Chain A
Amino acid sequence: MKALRNPIAVLALASVCSYAFALEPVPWNSPDRAAQFKYFRENASYNANFWAALAPVEQDRELTRAKEPAAERQAAMEKWYAGAMEKWDTARLRGYTASIKEKDLRAVAIWLGREQASALEKKLLLARFMLDKSQTKGLDDKDALKLAPHLTTEAINDLRGISAAAEALDRQKAGLAVKKPGGAASEATLEKISGAIPKTGKQDMSKFFDGSNSRGGVAVDFTAGAQGAASGRPSAAAAKPAAVKQTAAAQIPLPAGSPEAACDNPKSSAFTSNAYGYTITANGQTQTFRDGKKAEAAIRQLPDGSISKIILYGHGSPGMQTVGPEVYDAESTAQLLKGKMAKGGVLQFSGCNTASIGGPTLNPAVGLSMVARRLLYFSLPYFQNRADGVSAEQARQQWDKGWNADLARDTSLGIKGAVVCGYRTFGLVPGRLPGVTRLMGNQEATTPGYVAGRKACYQDGREVAAP
């Protein structure tokens, strides 16, 4: 038996080694492991170069680790997409148009394919365009026909009813005789909607649906409001803005098990940065969070007027800011921080382009940033839409008002008294540079440190000096 010990040990060692050497490298985007590679792409854990640099054993380990979450994510995305491509009723129209963002379309392109993403994007563009049109010019039979494959009859009738009602309001303002909008059916549906009628299409129709009065309009019950205005009395139905409610089904499912979804993952050893987080200073104490849900829960537990500074660190684009998987626009941020900010407290959006570009400049770097912003957030998506068959007018309307959106100013209108800061330019964080972040070991930093960019701050919608 003793004589056999050595051969057995050699055999065991050989079998382990042969396993390691027998593994062949898996090419990036290998169709056999499509789901896992989609998972890597969505989470930006690897790209083709970094993947190729991994040893086959490491590749195998990563693929095995990602197998289950990738399968779950694939199923969730398929289910969500099927729901999104069904005909929308009014509530779903409101939810989907308000909640689907550019990154969600990218996720659909990754998991289900470019064609599916393009089909959803076209549907969204059409829905948003018709929402705007219903508010300004009104919808005709041709528009209803175009919407028929995407919306339920009830939703189309609602849209047509709204345009008729808005028209009646305009006539009323012009001192003309009020004609009752639509028939009994359209009036009945209108009564369910409470929100400010935006003036001449300057606000998104989705804001009308959400009941927002962030630009100073007062949310009213339309029919009663119209009657009140006609009699010269203040509208009895004037009300506080309704909370932003989006149907849960409209929001794209979060990538389960991804580094963004789980904050207690081990520290990354990645070459590139995955830094984002919340830094909240309240009552003299500073807390940092990676997990959005925990951060939001912590904010809700704080007493009113207690936050002296809060930094939302992540990626920004005109009109929105992400913090990991969480997405914030002016309304959702104002909703989250309502009443919580101390007088003169500072909300800092640490993300690119979270303020408008501002006036002319002699600084060449700021000028280049403006050029890049116009190219990336107007020209590029415009020509993409045109290539996808969207009309020039529709594509222009979609992107022309969005590329220079000012998230900081819009948010400051919703959080009275607080100073809200954003960046007019792309904000470059040296610590995020590939390689540098690995050297510094700050791939998952929750605060940005030094940011090279032009800051702009607002208080109640007026620009103020940066604190």
Chain B
Amino acid sequence: MTDLNYILETILLLAIPFVPVAIGVLLRRKFRPGAEPMTRARKVGRWAGNILLWGGIAGLLFMIVVVLNYKGKI
């Protein structure tokens, strides 16, 4: 049971950096320009998608840097 708890915890922790990327991609698709007229709300939605997507990618790069640091490569 202890192992199962920690396996679940590890999966959740590993998934965290990917969450903003996934949400960002969804928002960008939902508020894609051209399909419907770009209202203010749609623009905000697309901006939020952009921020989450690129912030998420930056987060993933950050995690890679942290792991390299941990491994003594940096």
A interface with B by C-beta (< 8 Å): 44, 47, 272-273, 315, 352, 364-365, 367-369, 371-372, 374-376, 379, 382-383, 386, 392-393, 396, 426, 428, 432-434
Indicate whether B55 reaches chain A with its CB closer than 8 angstroms: yes
- Report the number of A-B residue pairs with Cβ-Cβ less than 8 Å: 60
In the bound complex, CA of A365 to CA of B20 (Å): 13
Indicate whether B45 reaches chain A with its CB closer than 8 angstroms: no
A198 to chain B, nearest CB (A): 25
Q: Would A379 and B2 count as touching, CB distance under 8 A?
A: no
Q: Which residues of B contact A379 (CB under 8 A)?
A: 6, 9-10, 13
Q: Would A369 and B66 count as touching, CB distance under 8 A?
A: yes
Q: Would B70 and A376 count as touching, CB distance under 8 A?
A: yes
In the bound complex, CA of A386 to CA of B2 (Å): 11
Q: Which residues of A contact B63 (CB under 8 A)?
A: 368, 371-372
In the bound complex, CA of A365 to CA of B9 (Å): 20
- Summarize B's interface: helix, strand, loop or mixed: helix
Q: Would B10 and A392 count as touching, CB distance under 8 A?
A: no
A177 to chain B, nearest CB (A): 39
Given contacts A44-B72, A434-B73, contact A371 B62 (CB under 8 A): no
Can you list 6 A-B contacts with CB-CB less than 8 angstroms, sorted by A residue number? A47-B73, A352-B69, A352-B70, A368-B66, A379-B13, A396-B6
Q: Would A371 and B2 count as touching, CB distance under 8 A?
A: no
Q: Which residues of B contact A383 (CB under 8 A)?
A: 6, 10
Q: Would B62 and A368 count as touching, CB distance under 8 A?
A: yes
Q: Would A392 and B2 count as touching, CB distance under 8 A?
A: yes
Q: Which of A367, A372, A386 contacts B66 (CB 8 A)?
A: A372
Q: Would B16 and A371 count as touching, CB distance under 8 A?
A: yes
In the bound complex, CA of A315 to CA of B74 (Å): 10
Q: Would A374 and B66 count as touching, CB distance under 8 A?
A: no
Q: Would A365 and B3 count as touching, CB distance under 8 A?
A: no
Q: Which of A364, A393, A396, A434 contacts B59 (CB 8 A)?
A: A364
B interface with A by C-beta (< 8 Å): 2-3, 6, 9-10, 13-14, 16-17, 20, 55, 59, 62-63, 65-67, 69-70, 72-74
In the bound complex, CA of A375 to CA of B12 (Å): 10
The residue of chain A having its C-beta at the shortest distance from the C-beta of B65 within the complex is A428
Q: Would A432 and B9 count as touching, CB distance under 8 A?
A: no
A226 to chain B, nearest CB (A): 37
Q: Which of B2, B10, B55, B72 contacts A375 (CB 8 A)?
A: B10
Given contacts A364-B59, A368-B16, A393-B2, contact A426 B66 (CB under 8 A): yes
Q: Would A368 and B69 count as touching, CB distance under 8 A?
A: no
Q: Which residues of B contact A365 (CB under 8 A)?
A: 59, 62
In the bound complex, CA of A374 to CA of B66 (Å): 12
The residue of chain A having its C-beta at the shortest distance from the C-beta of B17 within the complex is A368
In the bound complex, CA of A139 to CA of B28 (Å): 61
In the bound complex, CA of A47 to CA of B71 (Å): 13
Q: Would B69 and A426 count as touching, CB distance under 8 A?
A: yes
Q: Would B6 and A368 count as touching, CB distance under 8 A?
A: no
Q: Would A382 and B69 count as touching, CB distance under 8 A?
A: no
In the bound complex, CA of A367 to CA of B17 (Å): 10
Q: Which of A375, A382, A392 contacts B13 (CB 8 A)?
A: A375
Q: Would B13 and A374 count as touching, CB distance under 8 A?
A: yes
Q: Which residues of A contact B20 (CB under 8 A)?
A: 364
In the bound complex, CA of A368 to CA of B17 (Å): 7
The residue of chain B having its C-beta at the shortest distance from the C-beta of A429 within the complex is B74
Q: Would A376 and B67 count as touching, CB distance under 8 A?
A: yes
In the bound complex, CA of A438 to CA of B14 (Å): 33
In the bound complex, CA of A47 to CA of B73 (Å): 10
- Of A374, A426, A432, most buried by chain B (CB within 10 Å of CB) is A426
Q: Which residues of A contact B74 (CB under 8 A)?
A: 272-273, 432-434
A373 to chain B, nearest CB (A): 9
Q: What 9 additional pairs, Cβ within 8 angstroms, besides A368-B16, A383-B6, A383-B10?
A: A352-B69, A364-B59, A368-B63, A371-B13, A374-B9, A379-B6, A379-B13, A426-B70, A433-B74
Q: Which residues of B contact A364 (CB under 8 A)?
A: 20, 55, 59
In the bound complex, CA of A369 to CA of B14 (Å): 12
B60 to chain A, nearest CB (A): 9
